[in-house]
Amino acid sequence: MKTENRFGPKGWTPERLGSLKGKTYVITGTTTGIGYEATRLLLSKGAKVVMLNRDGTRSAAIIKKLKNELGDNVDVSFIHMDLSILDSVRRAALKVKKQVPNIDALICNAAISQIARQEITIDGFESHLGVNYFGHFLLCGLLFDKIEESKGRIVIVGSNAYKMGLKRINFEDMNFDTHYNAWNPYAHSKLALMMFAYELQRRIQAKNKNVQVYVCHPGASRTDLIKGENLNKFVKTLWAILSPFMAQSAEKGSWPLVLCATEDMLKSEAYYGPTKRSELVGPVDECVLEKHVLDRKDAAKLWTVSEQKTSFKWDL
């Protein structure tokens, strides 16, 4: 798919941002990496940010850090949510609806990656699919009416991993009970998340709803995503060696998230992120989008399966 260079040779940068005072952003996964950097950037422009994280202690430390850097008057708060537990997502969404008057953008950023051995969530999902996809599918559905009331948007943080792995939804074995490895389930979860986003765009347009959905990716960014005791040791070691040379900062990795949360007149069925060196780094703009992620038949099937597995029926 051919793309156009909308933002010029330097791509999108935070220099395009004006004041965001009066705007409210709800973000998943903000205690580190691109989620933290996106939060910091939005707050620095006067926005209110509500962080949805599973670790209350780390969230409190992040709030203290942000206030120390940006001032005590920054409007940042925390609501507990564990994406691996659907009941936790439901409780968090209820609190958001009660406590947050408007949502200008819900940014679905939190993710896990490279889990070395198969793990199953309490709801029976392979862990990558449960956290990266099903949790966000449910969260978007539960908050959709609130976002529409605000004439807001949903930002889906995808990954170029969607181009790898099976390149299709593994309907016959969604938990990878056979042939599990650390890579394919992650790629599968991000493909599912992106296919959901484009299907959501189509359903919104068909019903003339007042919500925009945009998809981005951070490229190769130096974050804590590929760290932890349960992750693939080879991948962790390789990343530790190569990331100083082939990756960009987490700050730059957050720019596509902020672009999609704030910029006007973005395209649907588009994909925004770094555009150089195989889309790992470089100026942020529209990227090439491969056809398999736009497969409407599989997207519709995935939607039906997702409603069944999360016990949530969208009004779309």
Q: What pLDDT does residue 230 have?
A: 52
- Catalytic positions, written as ranges: 186
Which residue positions in the chain have pLDDT lower than 50?
Answer: 226-228, 232, 234-245
Q: What pLDDT does residue 241 have?
A: 35
- Cβ-based neighbours of 267, under 8 Å, separated by 6 or more: 286
Indicate the pTM of the whole model. Answer: 0.92
Structure tokens belonging to residue 141: 């559905």
Q: What pLDDT does residue 152 have?
A: 98
15-67 pLDDT tens trace: 999 999 999 999 999 999 999 999 999 999 999 999 999 999 999 999 999 99
Which residue from 140, 162, 174 is spatially nearest to 314, judged by alpha carbons? 140
SS (H, E, C) the chain: CCCCCCCCCCCECHHHCCCCCCCEEEEECCCCHHHHHHHHHHHHCCCEEEEEECCHHHHHHHHHHHHHHHCCCCEEEEEECCCCCHHHHHHHHHHHHHHCCCCCEEEECCCCCCECCCCECCCCCEHHHHHHHHHHHHHHHHHHHHHHHCCCEEEEECCHHHHCCCCCCCHHHCCCCCCCCCCHHHHHHHHHHHHHHHHHHHHHHHHCCCCEEEEECCCCECCCCCCCCCECHHHHHHHHHHHHHHCECHHHHHHHHHHHHHCCCCCCCCCEEEEECCCCEEEEEECCCCHHHHCHHHHHHHHHHHHHHHCCCCCC
Q: What pLDDT does residue 190 have?
A: 98
Q: What pLDDT does residue 225 have?
A: 53
